Amino acid sequence: MSKVPSEISNRFYILANQWEAEVEGISSTATMSEHPAYQEIISMGNKIVPLLLQDLKKKPLYWLLALNKITGVNPIKPEQRGKVKQMAETWLEWGKSQGYQI
């Protein structure tokens, strides 16, 4: 997969940092994912999937919903639900199988 252009990458990280700062202390991932910055990240579409996958390695929870919304895919098996590390690993495996450099 091709490299993400720097202007897209920069925009993603600005939004991600804003989102993290503004949802700090919120325990509900549903509430966190409704935040405007998170929604804007989702609206960036497939071009940011490599960034989400790379960041997922460091923060295994944050981008699971965004990946699902953007790709329309859910590689997580029912028995993995609630097991954050397993869910993240499944997404990373999916990304590799799709040709993403992670």
pTM, rounded to two decimals: 0.90
SS3 42: helix
Question: Tens digit of pLDDT for each residue in 38-90?
Answer: 999 999 999 999 999 999 998 887 899 999 999 999 999 999 998 999 999 99
Q: Give the CA-trace dihedral at 35, 8, 92, 69, to 10 degrees.
A: 40
Q: Distance (Å, rounded) from C-alpha 32 to C-alpha 39?
A: 10
Q: For residue range 79-90, list pLDDT tens digits in order.
A: 999 899 999 999
pLDDT value, residue 101: 83
